[in-house]
Chain A
Amino acid sequence: MPSWEEFRPFIVTGLALGGVYSLSGVGLVVLYRATGVLNLAFGAVGAMGALIAWELINNANWPDGLAYLVCVVFGGVVTLLYGLLFGPPLAGRDPLVKATATLGLALILLGAMSWIWSDKARSMILPTSNENFMVSDVLVNYTQVIGFAFGVVVTVVTAAFLRYTNLGTAMRALANDREITATLGVPVRRVEAAAWLGSGLLAGVAGLLLSNLVGLDANTLTFLVISSLAAALIARLQSLTVTLAAGIVVGLVNALITPILSISEYRDMTPFILAIIALLWLSRHREVRIGRAAG
């Protein structure tokens, strides 16, 4: 078993990744609550945004800041377009159908990324990754700080937005009952579009941060949505606060298992194990009936 000194740096990496998982999880939950869609293309959208930014910086000589902005805007625009095109026709379908449809978008984006950028090694270093400071012998860079802080800030701001703004109230109303909300005169499509846009912008930010914290690789970034999804599932796709906490726990546990060599290679299971434990725990009081229905 590693010593406390050996564990300490993993707390930093875990918190940074956990923060971004939380940020992504919040994006997933907000969209799900407003539209009933679990966006499995969240990671792919962020990955493509990050690769576009890389292309603009390295081959079109764009200023770094502008390229980063394009990454975020790309996330918002693609997600919004998907929502506008496919949201209404799928609105009445089962949540599983809606989620599977977003998997289609993820695969299209993944294929496009493989086609355009191949699997060559490339990197995009944010200026904040080169600035760092020591916390009791552990080197912390500012991208890690931003990763964690952004997750917390986005959760707090989103929660306040949903609670105190008209649009947020409309989103919460949609989450409760789409038909009744529409009957009350709420512009459902406009509210849903706002949710798609917001979630997409978060996908762009997450893609940018994860391309630094994890690596600029289409496959990796696309499937990192799984860890965020676990955080969202632990929160039963409802609570932003639980999503924040769950994302950080997933990141921390994942990182802290790393130096324990006997179980280290199984650490990618962390999100699933935590999600399953949480779901079992949350449904512990549910009554189970075995028997044939009367009829």
Chain B
Amino acid sequence: MRIMLGRARSQFFVAIVLAVCFSLFIAACGDDDDGGGGGDGGAAQVKETVKASDCGPEPGQKASGEPIKLGALATKQPGTDFSEIPRMADAYFKCVNDNGGINGRPVEYVIEYEQTDPGQAASQAKKLVETEKVLGIVGNTSIIECDVNHKYYEAQEYFVIGSGIAPTCYSTPNFAAVNMGPRYSSDGATQALIRQDVKKIVLDQSNVPGTDYIEEGPRLITEDAGKEFEGLKENVPIQDANSAALKAVQAAGDGGGVVLNFTPPEALKILQAAQQQGLQDRVKWGCSTPCNTDFLAEALGDAWDGKLFVNAELNLITADAPDSNLYREVQKQYAPDIPLGSFSQMGFIEARIATEALQGVQGDYTKESVNEAFKNVKNFETDILCNPWYYGEAPLHIPNNVDRTVTPKGGTMVQEEDCFPISDVDPAIKEVRDIEKQDPSLVGGG
């Protein structure tokens, strides 16, 4: 009897160990969202120079013609919710519909969601194209969608305007993003620290698939600058932030620089641990775009003012400029529940680009004419991006390749460096710069 009890207890212990192993595995699979956070919260103290009605050609005149149907697909699941992007695009289209529409016609916008299930992502794209029969796709933001659907979009000749996360979003002819994604954003943060004259760069990022691809850009840029580079990975969620911060600082050495590529909560853990151990002045700290959020600046407090160099793919949400002001007005009137931040900025810009492209369509609005219009977008100027945005016919698209650097100050993010080009030492950036040289009209030249 005692032996039986002992065996049962051993089986119980083994079962518990297996159960917690499984739990840890599940936990490790989650929580790596944030294709780009940014600047949420924080009331804008600016001159209100525009009205929301400036979004359309005929203020106050509701569009009444046959709707132009557009669609979007975004990841929406616990812990990973990109719905703010298409929802803000929807708010902009509603504003356009209330103020003249597109040549008198309203936009009907269909948003579908997926939960990082490849089968579901594929079927939702088919649903948009074949069942909903959308004429164009705008506002897509998904962890897996580019990988799953890019061939389908190529075959169906849809030219998607969206926000990129996976590397494939930046290497297909049929997807152009308004953001630049984690690799090129890490490139930008690396460049900012090199300008701070650090001796060595350490890139510390989540230990998830795709990080080797991201590491390659900062490595090439650092080595090109004649400095030493080291890549580190941390399992997320980070369970011992003090040790993780110490490891990064020791790897960088005195006078070195540490670039973080994590979601805001994980980056915050490392930065706070560094602060508590008096490490924030031992090295220079940089961070890719997800750190560009006022939540992070507020959580860090004054101790980090001017000490963290964060790459910013979009302008500050508080910027006093025409598109930035219009963005806030549209948000206030049509989507007050969506926070101001880089996600909603992306949705706004994507809808603005699509609207301007559609206003120029001559003749019927068909799948062909709409996608041709999207593909032909060039020299789209907006104060939310550093350089004009374009689509064009190319094997890959990284139209957002000029960035800013921001830094925390008094609980918000403020601009530290004005627009600078992401280094073309990164081969994909070199490729898009060559494309821009071949057709300077894409960015307003020639």
The interface of chain A, by Cβ under 8 A from chain B, is 2, 6, 9-10, 13-14, 16-17, 38, 40, 95-96, 99-100, 103, 111, 114, 119-123, 125, 129-130, 132, 139, 141, 143-144, 212-215, 217, 219-220, 222-224, 226-227, 229-230, 233, 236, 254-255, 258-259, 261, 264-265, 268, 272, 275-276, 279, 283, 286-287
Contact = CB atoms under 8 A, between A and B. Distances in A.
B75 to A, nearest CB: 13
A215 B262 CA distance: 14
B13 to A, nearest CB: 6
A258 B240 contact: yes
Nearest to A264: B247
Nearest to B6: A286
A233 B16 contact: yes
B237 interface: yes
B412 interface: no
Interface in B222-238: 232-235, 237-238
Contacts of A276: 17
9 contacts: A17-B242, A96-B16, A99-B19, A120-B264, A121-B267, A219-B237, A224-B239, A254-B239, A279-B13
Contacts, number: 157
Contact of A119 (B241, B242, B247, B265): B265
- Highest count of chain B CB atoms <10 Å: which of A123, A129, A258, A265: A123
Nearest to B3: A287
Contacts of A261: 232, 247, 251
A204 B78 CA distance: 25
B219 interface: no
Interface in B191-220: 207
B16 to A, nearest CB: 7
A283 B3 CA distance: 12
Contacts of A268: 24, 28, 235, 239
Contacts of B273: 215
B243 A10 contact: yes
A214 B246 contact: no
Interface in B18-76: 19-21, 23-24, 27-28, 30-31, 33, 40
A95 B9 CA distance: 9
B21 A223 contact: no
Given A13-B243, A121-B267, A123-B272, A95 B237 contact: no
Given A17-B240, A214-B240, A223-B27, A259 B267 contact: no
Contacts of B233: 265
A57 B160 CA distance: 45
Contact of B17 (A16, A223, A227, A233): A233
Contacts of B12: 95-96
A283 B239 CA distance: 30
B234 A265 contact: yes
B250 A129 contact: no
B295 interface: yes
Nearest to B30: A219
B263 interface: yes
A213 B260 CA distance: 19
A125 B246 CA distance: 19
B363 interface: no
Contact of B240 (A13, A103, A233, A236): A13
Contact of A139 (B40, B244, B277): B277
Given A13-B242, A123-B268, A265-B235, A226 B23 contact: yes
Interface of B: 3, 6, 9-10, 12-17, 19-21, 23-24, 27-28, 30-31, 33, 40, 78-79, 207, 232-235, 237-244, 246-247, 250-251, 263-269, 272-273, 276-278, 293, 295-296, 299-301
Contacts of B265: 119-122, 215, 217
A114 B15 CA distance: 28
A13 B242 CA distance: 6
B30 A141 contact: no
A111 B246 contact: no
Given A139-B277, A229-B16, A119 B33 contact: yes
A132 B16 contact: no
A38 B6 contact: no
A271 to B, nearest CB: 8
A254 B240 CA distance: 8
A19 to B, nearest CB: 13
Enumerate the 6 nearest inter-chain pairs by beta-carbon distance, A residue then B residue, closest first: A215-B269, A121-B264, A220-B237, A13-B242, A258-B243, A121-B268
Given A16-B242, A40-B19, A132-B276, 7 more contacts: A13-B242, A121-B296, A214-B240, A220-B238, A226-B23, A227-B239, A283-B10
Contacts of B264: 120-121
A60 to B, nearest CB: 17
A130 B24 CA distance: 31
B201 to A, nearest CB: 16
A215 B299 contact: no
A39 B137 CA distance: 48
Contact of A215 (B78, B207, B272, B296): B272
Nearest to A279: B13
Contact of A223 (B9, B237, B301): B237
Contacts of A287: 3
A121 B299 CA distance: 7
A111 B30 CA distance: 13
A286 B242 CA distance: 41
B31 A119 contact: yes
